[in-house]
Structure 1
């Protein structure tokens, strides 16, 4: 018996997938130089910009690498290495849109999908200035110049003409095309967001909000808001939040908008998200047990190692490192907890900074005035204090300074780890190791004398 087979139904959305769009963007990238802050423009031909996130720094904010899950203190030499090989997440590929989104893209839309007056990449009109609002956690590095505003400034409104054109475009489309998802889970909103088309994205978001699908997720669990964060689109992030997008939504790896912005080092996006306090959860955990502050610290350490490997001569990496440090500052100024320990190894942000020899971040963290600084410095991560980890930085050019900084803030060299080792037992052999061991012993003896003196006074 023969049965006629009906033709296979075509997906309701024929737009290119977010993955394909962003692959096109990556092919067009010619440099990792971070773009300067563009001026507001309504020109149909936007100025050429380049990615803010180098392809050598893939997004992999989750995935436990062996180098991270290993709780033992390393005794190997600490050689500089390219950033691509130093990433804490390097063994785990990230999502397909793990690069910047500022390059123009040639879409695969048909002519009926084009809106007169729209271009593939619209020039953002936000201000590149950023600042830490809490002076108590300000560092010596400041992203602002004298007399500059302490608040980030975003474009307050959309282009009314282009927004109306976008609404008309969507109203002329098939209903399923504007509300359904394709085989990869992408909606038309995901597409417009990845392309940076603000007015089109706003109109599409309105349509999806009306049918209760504003937070629809693509195949990797990303809502349009998460795509906007990853695409470094602060204005679209603000728009989506104003329309009711779930600020605490997470992808298949548990990454919230804060995790993504913190890892990539997008201060303007981060400020847009933090402006929604207290709704946003600063202590949200991804599926690796890390808060956004942990992600920001790890990502900053990766960039600092790459900068060290280039001899501090790479202006692009210097800019990226400054942006990532500003993300750490903003999270702390908004109330992120320094005492939070990531779940797998119990490391605090200080443990993460010390273990990677990240001297800039160590300096910054130890300058923060804490009433319980001594307790913070001596917290253990699977038995190791930060001082134990610093003792294991064999060959690191900043080892001695990190040890001195920790000791000056109350680190106790007499504390033993789970193997009953004190930090002095973990130092390298040779002349340098002996000198550092003498420094630790002197501090330990000084601490004992001080304790005995206090006991005698009592």
Structure 2
């Protein structure tokens, strides 16, 4: 790292647009990451896909790299978008969903890769990532992504975050659908029911309609297995959201 600094090449790029900092992050070398940042490497450098060090750590589940960035005191942009329109927090949630959905994760016990990725989500939130940010392609927040991934542990983490208006967050729409719409569309059984109950407890409004004029209850699977949830959604009617004016 000091040699690169001596030659004024701390931010030199290789063939995929990665600086030494991004190469060290991808190789999961937190000590080198911290050295490079201490010597003045650009903490917001991006590769040929627009990914910063935060995106890479989030995508590959590298909490040690995030710790190194945090400990360095570098001024990193938590809301930088890659070329897919994703913030590092979006990338972390998508990566967590991917490993959680693998067949080997059929049990409710969280694997090491899943734990590392959940740790990345929690660290990004601790570092100031905005959980209400919407990705560009479909306007989903991390709550929408977590619900779509049937990721109960992550949904619970997100619903417990401090927020100025938690009901406004839980009722945000992505192309017309709230997180409750997406939960109702999940396969019946575990973890659909606890996700729906958690969303309702956080203030999700089952009366809201999507662009097809459907309420969440309309998206439940037909049959007796969903009847209890259908009745629950019909009974749950939170007071109207406060006006933003």
* Structure-2-length-normalised TM-score: 0.92
- Residue 388 (structure 1) aligned with residue 181 (structure 2): yes
- Residue 291 (structure 1) aligned with residue 96 (structure 2): no
- Residue 404 (structure 1) aligned with residue 197 (structure 2): yes
CA distance in 2, matches of 1:430, 1:262: 39
Deviations 1:286-316 (A, max 9, x none): 0111111111111111122226644356xxx
2:155 aligns with one of 350, 355, 362: 362
Q: Which residue of 2 aligns with 1:271?
A: 67
RMSD over aligned Cα, in angstroms? 1.7
1:274 positional shift: 2.1
- 1:15-414 equivalences in 2 (<5 Å): 202=1, 206-277=2-73, 279-306=75-102, 309-312=105-108, 318-395=111-188, 397-414=190-207
CA distance in 2, matches of 1:337, 1:277: 19
Tell me, yes or no, if the aligned pair for 1:357 and 1:396 is still in contact at 8 Å.
Answer: no
Tell me, yes or no, if the aligned pair for 2:150 and 2:192 is still in contact at 8 Å.
Answer: yes
SS of the residue corresponding to residue 275 of structure 1 reads: helix
Higher RCO by CA contacts (8 Å cutoff, separation 6 or greater): 1
1:322 positional shift: 1.5
1:343 positional shift: 1.1
1:347 positional shift: 0.7
CA distance in 2, matches of 1:307, 1:235: 34
Gaps of 5+ in 1: 1-201, 452-458
1:423 positional shift: 0.7
SS of the residue corresponding to residue 97 of structure 2 reads: helix
Tell me, yes or no, if the aligned pair for 2:43 and 2:76 is still in contact at 8 Å.
Answer: yes
SS of the residue corresponding to residue 274 of structure 1 reads: helix
Larger radius of gyration: 1
Which structure features the higher share of helix residues?
2
Report how many residues are paired.
240
Tell me, yes or no, if the aligned pair for 2:37 and 2:74 is still in contact at 8 Å.
Answer: no
